[in-house]
Structure formats: structure tokens, C-alpha cells
Amino acid sequence: MFSYILFILYLKKNKNRSPKKVVSYHGKYMPGLSNKLLSKLEAVSGGSFGGERLEFCDAIELLSSDQLVLIGSFADKLTACKCSEMYCYDLPDASKNSLIRTYNVERNINYTNICVSGCSFCAFCRSEFSPDAYLLSDEVLFAKISETVSLGGKQILLQGGLHPSIPFEWYESMLQKIKQKFPDVNIHGFSPTEIVFFSDKYCLTVEEVLCRLRQAGLGSLPGGGAEILVDRVRRELSPLKASADRWLEVCRAWHKIGGRGSATMMFGHIETLEERVMHLARLRELQDETEGFTAFIPWTFQPNNTKLKHIKKTSSYEYLKMLAVSRLFLDNFQTIQSSWVTQGLRIGTLGLSFGANDLGSIMIEENVVAAAGTSFRTNETEFKQSIKNAGYEPKRRSDVHCQPSTANLRLTK
Ligand code: SF4
């Protein structure tokens, strides 16, 4: 709520903003960033925050500027600073630790493509009666997980559409069966959007839904369905989906029972720069409160095969800038993940020098982005080599940071 008030004040104050100043920085001619912001970036990126934090207007100034390399270098400095702490148990020399970049191996399993939401940006969903609608059988589901395990994967990302006629017990049973067969696999499953849908459909509170799924085997919560956490955008793109407040309410409730999960942002469609920053501000505010987010993953809207196919794809330049600004603004997030799935391996790896410390996962299967016409493929050897070529030490991430604590497992009414 506080960030929403700041957002409104910002819009009022900056109705007639003057063009940016031209300043000199480190002896170079640098159009685009004010001296005030540059000194703030120096403080923030050095890790000596001293109460300094990027504000709403700072993030807008960064996103509006053409200083990609400069912004990236500040973000990279901050990543090195944060990650030397993060990996300090791995290598004795902190400067080496800051060069580690992580990745994972996992599979994105969409248990159904049937969905009643009909988001205009989605190329994946089908109606219940569509000839290519599906709901995975146990046999197919287990075969996919079994293959993932045989390839060294320890986590599945389990998400579906919002199915109109499955009973809630079906989801609990699916989780229980997976955990019985594959006790060591972390189920990173059900976006906050699905949780809100379950809550409304089965007349359960959000807490009841979360606790029951967790008791059945849910390990961590992916941040899907966030898109842009501003209701003007959500009403236009996906009017039947959870509001921004409700998306955040699910994450808050999950964090409060000891759960952990990621946060995402899909940008580059109908949102304004201000709305992107509003999204970041709302996540930062919740992270201040709960510390429950393990990672932030921004990715660009893929327009092919969607109702919004007239929208031009966001450039890699804009993607890298957004990634770097996310690192600088979300000062309370440990991990920022680069999205090679939407950007390709070369730009995805470049993101490791623009604020990201993780290159996401080698996806054994991915359906949602592929349905929108973007399908990059790689293997572990190529993935590691790409990270090495960028000057970093590749390290396969453990899923432990996504595992919930075992505290507070009791169902809260
Ligand atoms: S994005 Fe998700 S909720 Fe929206 S239509 Fe696609 S599957 Fe359904």
C-alpha cells in the first residue's frame, strides 16, 4: 500500500518532468544520469547501503536512460558484493566466490493446458473442449519425472492452467503420489494465481490451500502469474486472474508459514516504465516484511501466437537494462536470474554481467514460452561452457535455498 501511495505521488509530481541533465562522470561525457543518482549508485552498488536505497524516481531515471553499460557495471558490482557473501562457504577467497554463477537442471511440467482464464498474452492455454486440450495421466507424469531424475534433475516446476472441473483432492493426491515415488525431488509448484483460483473455487482460505498442498508434498512456490503487479495492466491483459493484491497475499501467507519461493515479472507488453517500477516496489516491500523470496526472474513477453502478436518483441538492450535495474532496486533479493529461455544462451549469459548471479535452469521440457514461438535448447556441457566463456565459474545450484523450513506445518484455520 505504501509503495502504491508513492507511485501516485510520483505520477503527480512528474507530470511535466524536464529532460535529464548532461553530466560528467569519471571524466567521461555521460548524458542521461544525474549526479545525485550517480553518487547514490556508488553507495548502493558498493554494498555499503547506510540507509541508501534507490527510490521510485531513481529507477525511472535509470530505465529512461541510454547508459546500459554504466548501469550494468553498477549492477555487476553489487552482484559481486552480494554473491561473495552468498558463496563464502564454497571457496576460501571471497574475490573468487564473486565469480561463481549458478544454474540448475529441472523440468517444467504443465499438468494441464486447460484454462478458464484466457489471458491475452498466453499461447499455451486451451478450452476444455479443444482437440489438443490435455490433462496428464499419472503414467505420463511419472515418466517425465523419472527421466528428469535420470538426467540429474532434482526439481520439477509443476504448473497448469486453471482447470474448471478438477476436485481439490486431485491436486493433493498428485503431490502425494509424486513424493511417494520421488521423495528427493523438490516440487516447485502452483503459481500464486493457481492458489487464488483454488481458494475461490473450493471455498478455502488461501492459508488452508497452502497448508494442505504443503502437507501433500509441495516444496516451494514459483512466482508465475505476476506479469505486472498493477491492476490497470492486469485488468487489460487478464481480467479473470488474481489481482495484484491477491497475488501478493498468497506469497505473504506462504512466507509466513515458513515457505519460500521466487518472484517474476513479465514485461514488454502494455505496461509503462512507471508500472514496471511499481511492480519492483511492491515486491521489495513484501521482501522487507517476510524475506521469503529466494530469487527474482524478469523475462520478456513473447508475442507470437498470442492475441497481442502485434506488439514488437522487447530488445535485448531493454532486457539487460531491466535486469540491471532490478538488481539495483531489489537490494533485499539475493538472487537475480537471467532468462536464457526467452533471450537465448548468448544474451542470457551476458545477463550474468548485468546483475544476474544465476542462469536459471537447463529445461528438459518447457511448453509455455515454446507455445509463443520461442524455443531455445541447450545441454549441460554447452551451458557450462557458455558461463565459462563469460569469465565465470559455473556451479550447479542446490535446491536447498528453495526448500521450505519444516516449522509451522500445522494447518491454520
Ligand atoms: S497465462 Fe496461465 S492463467 Fe493465463 S491463460 Fe495462460 S495458462 Fe491460463
**Domain final residue, candidates 80, 104, 135:** 80
**410 occurs within a structural domain:** no
Ligand 1 centre distance from Cα of residue 23 (Å): 45
- Looking at the structure, tell me whether residues 102 and 75 fall in a common domain: no
- Looking at the structure, tell me whether residues 76 and 100 fall in a common domain: no
- Looking at the structure, tell me whether residues 239 and 384 fall in a common domain: yes
Beta-carbon contacts of residue 91 (< 8 Å; ≥ 6 apart): 97, 100
Instruction: Tell me the residue type at 388.
Output: K
Maximal CA-CA distance, the chain:
65
Among all chains, which residue has been given the C-alpha cell 508434498?
Answer: 217
* Grid cell locating 308: 497481442
Task: List the domain range (segments joined by +) for residue 291.
Answer: 96-402
- Looking at the structure, tell me whether residues 144 and 65 fall in a common domain: no
The candidate with the shortest Cα–Cα distance to 200, out of 121, 260, 259, 117, is: 117
- Tell me the best of 117, 198, 237, 367 to mutate to test the pocket of ligand 1, counting ligand atoms within 8 Å of each CB and taking the most: 117
Ligand 1 centre distance from Cα of residue 154 (Å): 26
* Lining residues, ligand 1, CB within 6 Å: 115, 117-119, 122, 124-125, 161-162, 193, 238, 241
**62 occurs within a structural domain:** yes
- Looking at the structure, tell me whether residues 124 and 215 fall in a common domain: yes
Residues facing residue 188 across a β-bridge: 157, 220
**Domain final residue, candidates 56, 80, 104:** 80
**411 occurs within a structural domain:** no
- Tell me the best of 108, 114, 119, 193 to mutate to test the pocket of ligand 1, counting ligand atoms within 8 Å of each CB and taking the most: 119
- Looking at the structure, tell me whether residues 115 and 43 fall in a common domain: no
- Looking at the structure, tell me whether residues 175 and 300 fall in a common domain: yes
- Looking at the structure, tell me whether residues 70 and 104 fall in a common domain: no
Beta-carbon contacts of residue 405 (< 8 Å; ≥ 6 apart): 258
CB 103 within 8 A of CB 358: yes
Beta-carbon contacts of residue 282 (< 8 Å; ≥ 6 apart): 3, 4, 229, 244, 248
- The dihedral built from the CA positions of residue 35, 41, 44 and 45, taken in this order, carries a sign that is negative
- Looking at the structure, tell me whether residues 6 and 124 fall in a common domain: no
- Looking at the structure, tell me whether residues 101 and 55 fall in a common domain: no
Residues facing residue 155 across a β-bridge: 106, 186
Distance CA(18)–CA(293), nearest Å, equals 36
For residue 205, CA distances in Å to 219, 252, 260, 363 come to 19, 13, 19, 33
| pTM of structure | 0.88
Q: State the total domains in the chain.
A: 2
Ligand 1 centre distance from Cα of residue 146 (Å): 27
- Looking at the structure, tell me whether residues 361 and 249 fall in a common domain: yes
**412 occurs within a structural domain:** no
* Nearest CA owner, ligand 1 atom 7: 161
The pLDDT, as a whole number, for residue 105 is: 86
**391 occurs within a structural domain:** yes
Pairing of strands 155-159, 186-189: parallel
- Residue 262's SS3 state is strand
How do the pLDDT tens digits run along the chain, 413 residues long? 666 666 666 656 655 444 444 344 444 444 578 999 999 999 898 866 566 899 999 999 999 999 999 999 999 999 988 876 554 445 555 555 668 899 988 889 999 999 999 999 998 999 999 999 999 999 999 999 999 898 888 899 999 999 999 999 999 999 999 999 999 999 999 999 999 999 999 999 999 999 999 999 999 999 999 999 999 999 999 999 999 999 999 999 999 999 999 999 999 999 999 999 999 999 999 999 999 999 999 999 999 889 999 999 999 999 999 999 999 999 999 999 999 989 999 999 999 999 999 998 887 766 666 666 666 667 788 889 999 999 999 998 866 443 333 333 223 22
- Looking at the structure, tell me whether residues 246 and 275 fall in a common domain: yes
**Domain final residue, candidates 52, 80, 108:** 80
